[in-house]
Protein backbone atom coordinates (compact mmCIF):
# COMPACT_ATOMS: atom_id res chain seq x y z
CA UNK A 1 0.00 0.00 0.00
CA UNK A 2 1.43 3.34 -0.99
CA UNK A 3 1.74 6.15 1.49
CA UNK A 4 0.08 9.44 0.60
CA UNK A 5 2.20 12.15 -0.88
CA UNK A 6 2.56 15.76 0.19
CA UNK A 7 1.93 18.52 -2.33
CA UNK A 8 5.63 19.32 -2.07
CA UNK A 9 6.57 15.78 -3.03
CA UNK A 10 4.12 15.80 -5.93
CA UNK A 11 5.68 18.99 -7.27
CA UNK A 12 9.21 17.63 -6.97
CA UNK A 13 8.36 14.26 -8.52
CA UNK A 14 6.51 15.85 -11.41
CA UNK A 15 9.63 17.89 -12.23
CA UNK A 16 12.31 15.25 -11.67
CA UNK A 17 14.33 14.63 -14.81
CA UNK A 18 16.74 12.25 -13.10
CA UNK A 19 17.41 11.03 -9.58
CA UNK A 20 21.08 11.80 -8.90
CA UNK A 21 21.42 10.23 -5.46
CA UNK A 22 19.44 9.76 -2.26
CA UNK A 23 19.39 13.52 -1.53
CA UNK A 24 19.56 15.16 -4.95
CA UNK A 25 17.51 15.21 -8.11
CA UNK A 26 17.84 17.02 -11.42
CA UNK A 27 14.79 19.28 -11.21
CA UNK A 28 13.16 20.83 -14.27
CA UNK A 29 12.35 24.53 -13.82
CA UNK A 30 9.28 25.99 -15.54
CA UNK A 31 10.06 29.65 -15.02
CA UNK A 32 13.32 31.40 -14.20
CA UNK A 33 13.21 35.06 -13.17
CA UNK A 34 16.30 37.23 -13.21
CA UNK A 35 17.34 40.64 -11.97
CA UNK A 36 20.24 42.92 -12.79
CA UNK A 37 22.48 42.14 -9.82
CA UNK A 38 22.47 38.36 -9.30
CA UNK A 39 22.51 37.37 -13.00
CA UNK A 40 25.49 39.16 -14.67
CA UNK A 41 28.15 36.78 -13.39
CA UNK A 42 25.97 33.84 -14.47
CA UNK A 43 25.74 35.12 -18.04
CA UNK A 44 29.49 35.84 -17.98
CA UNK A 45 30.17 32.26 -16.86
CA UNK A 46 27.94 30.94 -19.63
CA UNK A 47 29.73 33.01 -22.26
CA UNK A 48 33.16 32.06 -20.94
CA UNK A 49 32.33 28.39 -21.47
CA UNK A 50 30.68 29.07 -24.86
CA UNK A 51 27.39 27.71 -23.59
CA UNK A 52 23.94 28.79 -24.73
CA UNK A 53 20.62 29.32 -22.94
CA UNK A 54 18.82 26.01 -23.36
CA UNK A 55 15.17 27.20 -23.27
CA UNK A 56 14.97 31.02 -23.51
CA UNK A 57 11.15 31.06 -23.49
CA UNK A 58 11.04 29.91 -19.85
CA UNK A 59 13.18 32.84 -18.67
CA UNK A 60 12.29 36.45 -17.87
CA UNK A 61 14.19 39.39 -16.39
CA UNK A 62 13.45 42.76 -14.81
CA UNK A 63 15.47 45.70 -13.56
CA UNK A 64 14.27 45.89 -9.96
CA UNK A 65 16.94 46.28 -7.29
CA UNK A 66 19.12 49.22 -8.36
CA UNK A 67 16.46 51.27 -10.12
CA UNK A 68 15.77 54.80 -8.79
CA UNK A 69 12.16 55.50 -7.81
CA UNK A 70 12.01 59.31 -8.09
CA UNK A 71 8.93 60.35 -10.03
CA UNK A 72 9.55 61.49 -13.59
CA UNK A 73 8.66 60.65 -17.15
CA UNK A 74 11.91 58.92 -18.01
CA UNK A 75 14.06 57.09 -15.50
CA UNK A 76 17.81 57.50 -15.67
CA UNK A 77 20.05 55.47 -13.39
CA UNK A 78 22.61 58.04 -12.24
CA UNK A 79 25.08 55.65 -10.59
CA UNK A 80 27.35 54.44 -13.44
CA UNK A 81 27.87 50.97 -11.94
CA UNK A 82 24.13 50.44 -11.46
CA UNK A 83 23.44 51.81 -14.96
CA UNK A 84 25.92 49.26 -16.31
CA UNK A 85 24.06 46.48 -14.46
CA UNK A 86 20.84 47.52 -16.20
CA UNK A 87 22.36 47.89 -19.67
CA UNK A 88 24.24 44.62 -19.22
CA UNK A 89 20.97 42.84 -18.37
CA UNK A 90 19.40 44.22 -21.53
CA UNK A 91 22.39 43.13 -23.61
CA UNK A 92 22.25 39.61 -22.16
CA UNK A 93 18.49 39.30 -22.67
CA UNK A 94 18.72 40.58 -26.23
CA UNK A 95 21.57 38.22 -27.05
CA UNK A 96 19.69 35.18 -25.77
CA UNK A 97 16.13 36.13 -26.68
CA UNK A 98 14.94 36.43 -23.07
CA UNK A 99 11.85 38.45 -22.14
CA UNK A 100 12.74 41.66 -20.30
CA UNK A 101 10.93 44.32 -18.28
CA UNK A 102 13.46 47.09 -18.80
CA UNK A 103 14.06 50.31 -16.86
CA UNK A 104 11.51 52.42 -18.71
CA UNK A 105 8.97 49.71 -19.45
CA UNK A 106 5.56 50.84 -18.21
CA UNK A 107 5.11 47.40 -16.63
CA UNK A 108 8.54 47.24 -14.94
CA UNK A 109 8.49 46.30 -11.30
CA UNK A 110 9.69 43.96 -8.57
CA UNK A 111 10.11 40.45 -10.00
CA UNK A 112 7.81 38.84 -7.43
CA UNK A 113 5.06 41.36 -8.17
CA UNK A 114 5.14 41.37 -11.97
CA UNK A 115 5.43 37.62 -12.56
CA UNK A 116 2.11 36.69 -10.93
CA UNK A 117 0.24 39.86 -11.89
CA UNK A 118 0.69 39.05 -15.59
CA UNK A 119 -0.24 35.40 -15.22
CA UNK A 120 3.24 33.93 -15.51
CA UNK A 121 2.88 31.92 -12.30
CA UNK A 122 0.56 28.93 -12.66
CA UNK A 123 -0.26 26.22 -10.14
CA UNK A 124 2.08 23.26 -10.17
CA UNK A 125 5.04 25.11 -11.65
CA UNK A 126 8.60 25.15 -10.34
CA UNK A 127 9.78 28.76 -10.28
CA UNK A 128 13.27 29.90 -9.33
CA UNK A 129 15.06 33.21 -9.14
CA UNK A 130 18.32 34.59 -7.82
CA UNK A 131 16.40 36.15 -4.98
CA UNK A 132 15.44 34.57 -1.67
CA UNK A 133 11.83 35.82 -1.71
CA UNK A 134 10.92 33.52 -4.60
CA UNK A 135 9.01 31.50 -1.96
CA UNK A 136 6.18 33.99 -2.73
CA UNK A 137 4.77 31.80 -5.51
CA UNK A 138 3.64 29.09 -3.15
CA UNK A 139 0.54 31.25 -2.79
CA UNK A 140 -0.56 29.89 -6.19
CA UNK A 141 0.53 26.32 -5.54
CA UNK A 142 3.82 26.77 -7.39
CA UNK A 143 7.10 25.63 -5.82
CA UNK A 144 9.23 28.77 -5.72
CA UNK A 145 12.61 29.20 -4.10
CA UNK A 146 15.67 31.40 -4.27
CA UNK A 147 18.98 30.35 -5.76
CA UNK A 148 22.51 31.73 -5.99
CA UNK A 149 24.29 32.98 -9.09
CA UNK A 150 26.08 29.67 -9.81
CA UNK A 151 22.64 28.08 -9.93
CA UNK A 152 21.32 30.90 -12.15
CA UNK A 153 24.04 29.91 -14.62
CA UNK A 154 23.07 26.25 -14.22
CA UNK A 155 19.42 26.99 -14.99
CA UNK A 156 20.30 29.12 -18.00
CA UNK A 157 22.42 26.32 -19.44
CA UNK A 158 20.20 23.36 -18.57
CA UNK A 159 16.73 24.65 -17.50
CA UNK A 160 17.28 22.39 -14.49
CA UNK A 161 18.82 22.54 -11.04
CA UNK A 162 20.69 20.00 -8.97
CA UNK A 163 18.10 20.14 -6.20
CA UNK A 164 18.63 18.92 -2.66
CA UNK A 165 15.39 17.51 -1.29
CA UNK A 166 13.80 19.33 1.64
CA UNK A 167 11.71 18.07 4.52
CA UNK A 168 7.98 18.68 4.63
CA UNK A 169 6.46 20.92 7.30
CA UNK A 170 2.80 21.76 7.71
CA UNK A 171 1.54 24.86 9.45
CA UNK A 172 -2.18 24.79 10.10
CA UNK A 173 -3.89 28.06 10.98
CA UNK A 174 -7.57 27.92 11.90
CA UNK A 175 -9.84 30.64 13.22
CA UNK A 176 -10.45 34.14 11.97
CA UNK A 177 -7.93 36.96 11.80
CA UNK A 178 -9.26 39.82 13.96
CA UNK A 179 -10.10 43.18 12.38
CA UNK A 180 -6.94 45.27 12.05
CA UNK A 181 -4.67 42.29 11.47
CA UNK A 182 -3.36 40.83 8.23
CA UNK A 183 -1.35 37.93 6.86
CA UNK A 184 1.75 40.06 7.60
CA UNK A 185 0.90 39.97 11.30
CA UNK A 186 0.22 36.25 11.07
CA UNK A 187 3.54 35.42 9.43
CA UNK A 188 5.45 37.72 11.79
CA UNK A 189 3.80 35.92 14.73
CA UNK A 190 4.67 32.52 13.27
CA UNK A 191 8.31 33.54 12.66
CA UNK A 192 8.46 34.87 16.21
CA UNK A 193 7.16 31.58 17.58
CA UNK A 194 9.22 29.11 15.51
CA UNK A 195 12.32 31.31 15.09
CA UNK A 196 14.53 32.49 12.23
CA UNK A 197 15.61 28.93 11.56
CA UNK A 198 12.38 27.24 12.65
CA UNK A 199 11.59 26.04 9.13
CA UNK A 200 15.18 25.60 7.96
CA UNK A 201 15.54 22.58 5.70
CA UNK A 202 11.80 22.39 5.08
CA UNK A 203 9.18 23.39 2.60
CA UNK A 204 6.19 24.69 4.54
CA UNK A 205 2.64 23.95 3.48
CA UNK A 206 0.16 26.39 5.00
CA UNK A 207 -3.38 25.16 5.48
CA UNK A 208 -6.45 25.69 7.65
CA UNK A 209 -9.54 27.87 7.60
CA UNK A 210 -7.59 31.08 8.23
CA UNK A 211 -5.38 30.42 5.20
CA UNK A 212 -8.42 29.54 3.06
CA UNK A 213 -9.94 32.90 4.00
CA UNK A 214 -6.89 34.91 2.86
CA UNK A 215 -6.93 36.70 -0.48
CA UNK A 216 -4.29 35.61 -2.97
CA UNK A 217 -2.34 38.81 -2.36
CA UNK A 218 -2.38 38.14 1.38
CA UNK A 219 -1.09 34.62 0.66
CA UNK A 220 1.77 36.14 -1.37
CA UNK A 221 2.79 38.08 1.76
CA UNK A 222 2.58 34.93 3.88
CA UNK A 223 4.64 32.74 1.55
CA UNK A 224 7.08 35.56 0.78
CA UNK A 225 8.17 35.80 4.41
CA UNK A 226 8.33 32.05 5.09
CA UNK A 227 11.97 32.32 4.04
CA UNK A 228 12.55 34.50 7.13
CA UNK A 229 11.90 31.37 9.17
CA UNK A 230 14.52 29.64 7.03
CA UNK A 231 12.03 27.78 4.82
CA UNK A 232 13.21 26.45 1.47
CA UNK A 233 9.78 26.97 0.05
CA UNK A 234 6.19 27.68 1.05
CA UNK A 235 3.00 26.30 -0.41
CA UNK A 236 -0.73 26.79 -0.24
CA UNK A 237 -2.73 24.17 -2.14
CA UNK A 238 -4.45 26.02 -4.99
CA UNK A 239 -8.17 26.53 -4.36
CA UNK A 240 -10.85 28.28 -6.39
CA UNK A 241 -9.49 31.69 -5.37
CA UNK A 242 -6.03 30.78 -6.72
CA UNK A 243 -7.47 29.36 -9.92
CA UNK A 244 -9.66 32.44 -10.46
CA UNK A 245 -6.62 34.67 -9.88
CA UNK A 246 -4.54 32.80 -12.46
CA UNK A 247 -7.23 32.42 -15.12
CA UNK A 248 -8.06 36.13 -14.92
CA UNK A 249 -4.44 36.86 -15.83
CA UNK A 250 -3.67 34.03 -18.24
CA UNK A 251 -5.98 34.41 -21.27
CA UNK A 252 -3.94 31.81 -23.14
CA UNK A 253 -5.35 29.07 -20.89
CA UNK A 254 -8.65 28.72 -22.74
CA UNK A 255 -11.10 26.19 -24.14
CA UNK A 256 -9.92 22.57 -24.02
CA UNK A 257 -6.64 23.60 -22.43
CA UNK A 258 -8.55 25.19 -19.58
CA UNK A 259 -10.34 21.91 -18.84
CA UNK A 260 -7.04 20.05 -18.80
CA UNK A 261 -5.45 22.69 -16.59
CA UNK A 262 -8.34 22.57 -14.11
CA UNK A 263 -8.12 18.78 -13.98
CA UNK A 264 -4.38 18.94 -13.32
CA UNK A 265 -4.66 21.67 -10.70
CA UNK A 266 -7.29 19.66 -8.84
CA UNK A 267 -4.58 17.09 -8.07
CA UNK A 268 -2.35 19.70 -6.42
CA UNK A 269 -2.96 19.01 -2.75
CA UNK A 270 -1.44 16.81 -0.11
CA UNK A 271 -3.08 13.43 0.17
CA UNK A 272 -5.09 12.98 3.38
CA UNK A 273 -2.65 10.32 4.61
CA UNK A 274 0.46 12.28 3.65
CA UNK A 275 3.01 12.59 6.44
CA UNK A 276 4.88 15.73 7.40
CA UNK A 277 8.18 15.76 9.25
CA UNK A 278 7.07 18.68 11.44
CA UNK A 279 3.60 20.07 12.12
CA UNK A 280 2.61 23.35 13.81
CA UNK A 281 -0.79 24.76 14.64
CA UNK A 282 -1.75 28.36 15.26
CA UNK A 283 -4.98 30.13 16.11
CA UNK A 284 -5.65 33.11 13.87
CA UNK A 285 -8.02 34.65 16.42
CA UNK A 286 -5.02 35.18 18.71
CA UNK A 287 -3.14 37.31 16.16
CA UNK A 288 -2.55 40.96 17.06
CA UNK A 289 -0.69 43.54 14.96
CA UNK A 290 2.97 42.55 15.21
CA UNK A 291 6.07 44.78 15.12
CA UNK A 292 9.73 43.76 15.21
CA UNK A 293 11.92 45.23 17.94
CA UNK A 294 15.28 43.69 17.01
CA UNK A 295 17.53 42.88 14.07
CA UNK A 296 16.11 39.52 13.03
CA UNK A 297 12.52 38.99 11.83
CA UNK A 298 11.90 36.57 14.71
CA UNK A 299 12.54 39.38 17.21
CA UNK A 300 8.93 40.46 17.08
CA UNK A 301 6.13 41.20 19.53
CA UNK A 302 2.42 41.98 19.44
CA UNK A 303 1.85 45.74 19.59
CA UNK A 304 0.44 45.40 23.11
CA UNK A 305 3.45 43.37 24.27
CA UNK A 306 6.82 44.44 25.64
CA UNK A 307 10.40 43.91 24.46
CA UNK A 308 11.66 40.66 25.99
CA UNK A 309 14.74 40.34 28.17
CA UNK A 310 16.86 37.28 27.59
CA UNK A 311 19.80 36.01 25.57
CA UNK A 312 23.00 37.52 24.26
CA UNK A 313 21.49 37.98 20.78
CA UNK A 314 18.87 40.12 22.48
CA UNK A 315 21.52 42.34 24.06
CA UNK A 316 23.24 43.09 20.76
CA UNK A 317 19.90 43.65 19.01
CA UNK A 318 18.81 46.08 21.74
CA UNK A 319 22.12 47.94 21.51
CA UNK A 320 21.55 48.35 17.80
CA UNK A 321 17.89 49.33 17.96
CA UNK A 322 18.40 51.54 21.01
CA UNK A 323 15.58 49.92 22.99
CA UNK A 324 15.36 48.44 26.48
CA UNK A 325 13.88 45.18 27.66
CA UNK A 326 10.44 45.62 29.17
CA UNK A 327 9.46 48.65 27.15
CA UNK A 328 6.46 48.96 24.86
CA UNK A 329 6.90 49.86 21.21
CA UNK A 330 3.80 52.06 21.28
CA UNK A 331 4.76 55.70 21.25
CA UNK A 332 8.22 55.04 19.82
CA UNK A 333 8.90 57.92 17.41
CA UNK A 334 9.88 57.08 13.83
CA UNK A 335 11.72 59.28 11.33
CA UNK A 336 10.63 57.44 8.24
CA UNK A 337 7.81 55.26 6.97
CA UNK A 338 8.44 52.98 4.00
CA UNK A 339 5.61 51.21 2.23
CA UNK A 340 6.83 48.89 -0.49
CA UNK A 341 8.74 45.67 -1.33
CA UNK A 342 7.82 42.25 -2.71
CA UNK A 343 6.19 41.58 0.66
CA UNK A 344 3.68 44.44 0.76
CA UNK A 345 3.48 46.62 -2.37
CA UNK A 346 0.44 45.19 -4.11
CA UNK A 347 -2.84 46.96 -4.69
CA UNK A 348 -4.54 45.51 -1.58
CA UNK A 349 -1.63 46.76 0.52
CA UNK A 350 -1.98 50.26 -0.91
CA UNK A 351 -5.74 50.17 -0.36
CA UNK A 352 -5.12 49.30 3.28
CA UNK A 353 -2.75 52.26 3.60
CA UNK A 354 -5.23 54.61 1.92
CA UNK A 355 -8.02 53.47 4.26
CA UNK A 356 -5.93 54.54 7.27
CA UNK A 357 -4.54 57.83 5.94
CA UNK A 358 -7.59 59.14 4.08
CA UNK A 359 -8.36 62.64 5.29
CA UNK A 360 -5.34 62.70 7.59
CA UNK A 361 -1.83 64.14 7.35
CA UNK A 362 1.58 62.58 7.80
CA UNK A 363 3.06 63.75 11.11
CA UNK A 364 5.30 66.84 10.86
CA UNK A 365 8.99 66.12 10.35
CA UNK A 366 8.38 62.55 9.28
CA UNK A 367 9.20 61.34 5.78
CA UNK A 368 6.77 58.80 4.36
CA UNK A 369 7.23 57.05 1.05
CA UNK A 370 5.11 54.64 -0.98
CA UNK A 371 6.88 52.61 -3.65
CA UNK A 372 4.35 50.53 -5.57
CA UNK A 373 5.50 47.06 -6.57
CA UNK A 374 5.04 47.51 -10.29
CA UNK A 375 3.93 49.84 -13.04
CA UNK A 376 0.60 48.02 -13.15
CA UNK A 377 0.05 48.47 -9.39
CA UNK A 378 0.97 52.13 -9.66
CA UNK A 379 -1.43 52.69 -12.56
CA UNK A 380 -4.24 50.89 -10.75
CA UNK A 381 -3.67 52.88 -7.56
CA UNK A 382 -3.87 56.08 -9.59
CA UNK A 383 -7.05 54.91 -11.33
CA UNK A 384 -8.66 54.04 -7.98
CA UNK A 385 -7.81 57.41 -6.46
CA UNK A 386 -5.45 55.84 -3.94
CA UNK A 387 -2.46 57.79 -5.19
CA UNK A 388 -4.30 61.06 -4.63
CA UNK A 389 -5.23 60.09 -1.07
CA UNK A 390 -1.61 59.25 -0.34
CA UNK A 391 -0.21 62.40 -1.90
CA UNK A 392 -2.83 64.58 -0.17
CA UNK A 393 -1.80 62.99 3.12
CA UNK A 394 1.82 63.94 2.49
CA UNK A 395 3.28 60.66 1.23
CA UNK A 396 5.85 60.60 -1.56
CA UNK A 397 4.35 58.63 -4.46
CA UNK A 398 7.24 56.88 -6.15
CA UNK A 399 7.97 54.75 -9.19
CA UNK A 400 8.23 50.96 -8.76
CA UNK A 401 11.27 49.05 -7.54
CA UNK A 402 12.79 47.24 -4.56
CA UNK A 403 13.90 50.61 -3.21
CA UNK A 404 14.41 50.98 0.54
CA UNK A 405 13.71 47.34 1.33
CA UNK A 406 17.42 46.74 0.83
CA UNK A 407 18.54 50.24 -0.19
CA UNK A 408 20.52 49.19 -3.25
CA UNK A 409 19.36 52.32 -5.05
CA UNK A 410 19.51 55.85 -3.63
CA UNK A 411 16.55 55.33 -1.27
CA UNK A 412 18.66 54.81 1.83
CA UNK A 413 18.34 55.83 5.46
CA UNK A 414 20.87 57.82 7.49
CA UNK A 415 22.57 56.34 10.58
CA UNK A 416 20.26 56.36 13.58
CA UNK A 417 17.08 56.91 11.59
CA UNK A 418 14.17 54.77 12.69
CA UNK A 419 11.82 53.40 10.05
CA UNK A 420 8.39 51.80 10.18
CA UNK A 421 8.60 49.49 7.19
CA UNK A 422 6.34 47.04 5.37
CA UNK A 423 9.38 45.07 4.18
CA UNK A 424 10.72 41.66 5.18
CA UNK A 425 14.08 42.12 6.90
CA UNK A 426 15.14 44.20 9.87
CA UNK A 427 18.80 43.17 9.63
CA UNK A 428 21.48 45.55 10.89
CA UNK A 429 22.25 48.05 8.15
CA UNK A 430 19.70 46.64 5.70
CA UNK A 431 18.01 50.00 5.04
CA UNK A 432 21.20 51.98 5.59
CA UNK A 433 24.17 51.76 7.93
CA UNK A 434 23.04 52.29 11.50
CA UNK A 435 19.39 52.65 10.46
CA UNK A 436 16.74 50.86 12.50
CA UNK A 437 13.91 48.93 10.85
CA UNK A 438 10.62 47.97 12.47
CA UNK A 439 8.73 45.49 10.30
CA UNK A 440 4.93 45.71 10.32
CA UNK A 441 1.82 45.55 8.15
CA UNK A 442 0.88 48.29 5.67
CA UNK A 443 -1.96 49.47 7.92
CA UNK A 444 0.36 49.66 10.93
CA UNK A 445 2.98 51.55 8.92
CA UNK A 446 0.29 53.94 7.73
CA UNK A 447 -0.83 54.49 11.32
CA UNK A 448 2.78 55.21 12.32
CA UNK A 449 3.04 57.78 9.53
CA UNK A 450 0.00 59.64 10.81
CA UNK A 451 0.85 59.38 14.50
CA UNK A 452 4.58 60.02 14.08
CA UNK A 453 5.24 57.02 16.26
CA UNK A 454 4.49 53.31 16.38
CA UNK A 455 0.87 52.89 17.37
CA UNK A 456 -1.92 50.33 17.36
CA UNK A 457 -3.94 50.77 14.17
CA UNK A 458 -6.89 49.08 15.89
CA UNK A 459 -7.22 52.13 18.14
CA UNK A 460 -7.44 54.58 15.28
CA UNK A 461 -11.03 55.37 14.42
CA UNK A 462 -11.77 55.87 10.75
CA UNK A 463 -11.74 59.48 9.57
CA UNK A 464 -10.40 61.12 12.72
CA UNK A 465 -7.03 61.86 14.21
CA UNK A 466 -5.82 60.29 17.44
Contact positions with other proteins (CB under 8 A) in 36-55:
37-38, 40-41, 44, 49, 51, 54-55
| Cβ proximity of 165 and 12 under 8 Å | yes
| Closer CB to other proteins, 132 or 358, in the complex | 132
Is residue 149 part of the contact set for other proteins (CB under 8 A)?
A: yes
| Cβ proximity of 84 and 422 under 8 Å | no
What residues have CB less than 8 Å from 34, skipping those under 6 apart?
59, 60, 61, 62, 89, 98, 111, 129, 130, 152
In whole angstroms, what is the distance from residue 16 CA to residue 401 CA?
A: 34
Q: 248-251 long-range contacts, Cβ below 8 Å, gap at least 24?
A: 248/119, 249/116, 249/117, 249/118, 249/119, 250/119, 250/122, 251/119
Q: Which of residues 259-288 bind other proteins (CB under 8 A)?
A: 260-261, 264
Min dist CB 229 to other proteins, Å, is 10
Is residue 9 part of the contact set for other proteins (CB under 8 A)?
A: no
Is residue 213 part of the contact set for other proteins (CB under 8 A)?
A: no
Among 64, 69, 136, 159, binds other proteins (CB under 8 A): 159
Is residue 164 part of the contact set for other proteins (CB under 8 A)?
A: yes
- 84 burial type by CB count under 10 A (0-12 exposed, 13-18 middle, 19+ buried): middle
Q: Which of residues 366-405 bind other proteins (CB under 8 A)?
A: none
Count of residues that bind other proteins according to CB under 8 A: 91
Q: Please give the backbone phi and psi of residue 126, each rounded to the nearest 5 degrees, phi first.
A: -105, 125
| Cβ proximity of 88 and 36 under 8 Å | yes
Selected range binding other proteins among 21-29, 215-223, 393-401, 450-458, rule: CB under 8 A: 21-29
Is residue 319 part of the contact set for other proteins (CB under 8 A)?
A: no
Min dist CB 281 to other proteins, Å, is 24
In whole angstroms, what is the distance from residue 196 CA to residue 193 CA?
A: 9
Min dist CB 422 to other proteins, Å, is 18
| Closer CB to other proteins, 134 or 441, in the complex | 134
Min dist CB 429 to other proteins, Å, is 5
Among 3, 179, 251, 461, binds other proteins (CB under 8 A): 251
In whole angstroms, what is the distance from residue 453 CA to residue 204 CA?
A: 34
Among 6, 59, 321, 423, binds other proteins (CB under 8 A): 59
In whole angstroms, what is the distance from residue 6 CA to residue 170 CA?
A: 10
Calculate the alpha carbon distances from 419 to 182, 276, 301, 318, 331 in Å.
20, 38, 16, 15, 13
Q: Which of residues 78-107 bind other proteins (CB under 8 A)?
A: 79, 81-82, 84-85, 88, 97-100, 106-107
Among 68, 109, 130, 180, binds other proteins (CB under 8 A): 130
Among 8, 25, 30, 343, binds other proteins (CB under 8 A): 30
Min dist CB 68 to other proteins, Å, is 13
Q: Which of residues 411-440 bind other proteins (CB under 8 A)?
A: 415, 425, 427-430, 433-434
Min dist CB 17 to other proteins, Å, is 5
Amino acid sequence: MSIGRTLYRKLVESHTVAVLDAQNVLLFCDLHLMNEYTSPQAFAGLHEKHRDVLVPGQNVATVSHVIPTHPGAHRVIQDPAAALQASNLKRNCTRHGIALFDTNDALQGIEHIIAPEHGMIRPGMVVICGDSHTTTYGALGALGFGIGTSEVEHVLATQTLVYRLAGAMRIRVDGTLPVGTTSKDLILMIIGRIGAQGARGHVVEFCGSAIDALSIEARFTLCNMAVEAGARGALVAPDQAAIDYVLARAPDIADAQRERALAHWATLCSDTDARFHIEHRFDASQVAPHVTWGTSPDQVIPIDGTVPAHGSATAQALRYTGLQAGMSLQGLAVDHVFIGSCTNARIEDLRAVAAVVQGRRVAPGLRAMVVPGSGAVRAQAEAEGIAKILVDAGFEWRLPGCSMCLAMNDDILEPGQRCASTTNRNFEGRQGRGAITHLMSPAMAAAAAIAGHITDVRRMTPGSTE
